[in-house]
Each structure stands twice: as structure tokens, then as C-alpha cells.
């Protein structure tokens, strides 16, 4: 299983927003979910995407989306705006679970479950040196990056892993990691 965890510092935790971008950059959550879970004309059935939202009014909110179980989801932003508004408003959607698990607790749970943890950052060890197999969790920050205390916490459980010296969009990082694993 491959899993991705996005720490969204500002993503809104209520359905009251005009656009995803206005909602504390929920557009990044949408872009990352798209890159994590969709291939051309198919879902990635071995992949789960997590986002922990830390914006107003009731943080944290943990969203877990399973590629194998996701239904009724197209790839366009308008569809995901509707899905995110619905689930933040308490409605259900097939393949999506919403709870209050905080970022650090989720990492601890995954480590205890035997996952290999990679903390994505441009100054880490090259991903090409890593063994990419088994249950893996890849952690990344939003447009601002991972807060120092969260990164330090995650590094107690995992390895800082780089995709190169350029700084990429969070969604691009997920796409690159998926490509590496697909080749492995
Ligand atoms: C848009 S970047 C954040 C940029 C932010 N200004 C910073 O310095 O962290 C979002 C996330 O993508 C990941 N990332 C970006 N470039 C990377 C790279 N070259 N290698 C590994 N991870 C990268 C990191 O996890 C980062 O927190």
C-alpha cells in the first residue's frame, strides 16, 4: 500500500467557502488527491490519500480517501469543490472517511502499523537511494511547507527524502513519487 499525507496548515474545516482557493488553499488538497489517486481512466487501487486540515473553524479535520473505494468522483475541480463541501458539511461520500485525527497522531499510528515513512523535502536523501516497497507513507507540506515541529516529529519515525534540489508543488511531488514507485 502507498499512502500520502498532506499537512494543510490553513485548509478550512467548514463547508462555508466560495472557492477551494479561498478556503485556505483547499485547491492544494484537491490537486494532491487527484495526483495521488487517479491514473488515466482508472483509480490507483493500492493508494490512500490523507489530508489534515488545520484551518478555521474546528481544526483538525482528517480526510482519508481510498483509491479502491472511491466512487462518483470526476477529475475536475468543480466536482471536488462539491465533494469537499459535502464531506465538511457532514455528508458521506463513498471511499472518503472524515475524523478528527491530528497529523502527529496519524504518523504514530502508521509507524506502529509497520509503515515505512518518508518525509518529503528538497534537502533529504535522494529518493533513488530508497527501497520503495511494502507499506509506505509519504508526508508533505502545503504551499508554505511543513512546520518545523511537525517535520521534527515526523523525522523521529521516518527519513527525509528528496526528489531533487528544485522545490516542486505538493501535487507534483506526489506525481513524481507515484512514478518512482511504478518503476520500482
Ligand atoms: C510547495 S512545497 C513547499 C514550499 C515551501 N516554500 C518550502 O520551502 O517548503 C510543498 C511540499 O512539497 C515537498 N517538496 C517540494 N519540493 C520537494 C523536493 N524537491 N523534494 C522533496 N519534497 C519536495 C515538501 O514536502 C514541501 O513541504
- Three-state SS annotation for 5-47: EEEECCCCCCCCCCCCCCCCCHHHHHHHHHHHHEECCEECCCE
For 49, the grid coordinates are 490519500
Starting at the edge strand found earlier in the chain, the sheet holding 159-162 runs 96-99, 61-66, 47-53, 2-8, 136-141, 116-126, 159-162
Ramachandran sector of residue 168 (left: φ over 0; alpha: ψ -120 to 50; beta: rest): beta
- The whole-number pLDDT of residue 29 equals 98
Series of mean pLDDT values for 10-residue runs along the chain (184 residues): 98 98 98 98 96 98 98 97 98 98 98 98 97 97 96 98 98 98 94
Tell which atom from ligand 1 comes closest to the C-alpha of 142: 10
Report residues whose beta carbon is within 6 angstroms of any ligand 1 atom: 120-122, 140-141, 143-146, 162-164, 166-170, 173
| Structural domains present in the chain | 2-183 (3.40.1280.10)
CA 94 to centroid of ligand 1, rounded, Å? 30
pLDDT by residue (tens digit) across 40-63? 989 999 999 999 999 999 999 999
CA 16 to centroid of ligand 1, rounded, Å? 28
- The whole-number pLDDT of residue 100 equals 98
- The whole-number pLDDT of residue 51 equals 98
Amino acid at each position: 500500500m502507498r499512502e500520502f499525507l498532506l499537512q494543510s496548515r490553513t485548509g478550512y474545516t467548514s463547508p462555508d467557502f466560495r472557492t477551494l482557493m479561498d478556503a485556505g488553499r483547499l485547491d492544494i488538497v484537491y490537486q494532491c488527491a487527484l495526483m495521488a489517486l487517479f491514473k488515466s481512466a482508472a483509480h490507483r487501487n493500492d493508494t490512500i490519500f490523507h489530508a489534515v486540515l488545520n484551518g478555521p473553524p474546528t481544526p483538525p479535520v482528517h480526510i482519508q480517501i481510498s483509491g479502491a473505494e472511491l466512487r462518483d468522483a470526476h477529475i475536475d475541480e468543480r466536482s471536488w469543490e462539491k465533494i469537499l463541501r459535502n464531506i465538511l458539511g457532514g455528508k458521506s461520500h463513498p471511499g472518503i472517511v472524515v475524523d478528527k485525527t491530528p497529523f502527529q497522531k496519524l504518523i504514530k499510528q502508521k509507524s506502529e502499523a509497520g509503515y515505512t515513512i518518508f518525509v518529503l523535502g528538497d534537502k533529504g536523501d535522494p529518493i533513488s537511494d530508497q527501497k520503495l516497497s511494502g507499506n509506505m507513507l509519504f508526508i508533505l507540506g502545503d504551499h508554505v511547507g511543513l512546520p518545523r515541529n511537525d517535520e521534527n516529529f515526523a523525522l523521529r519515525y521516518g527519513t527525509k527524502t528528496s526528489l531533487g534540489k528544485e522545490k516542486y508543488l505538493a501535487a507534483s511531488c506526489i506525481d513524481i513519487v507515484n512514478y518512482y514507485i511504478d518503476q520500482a
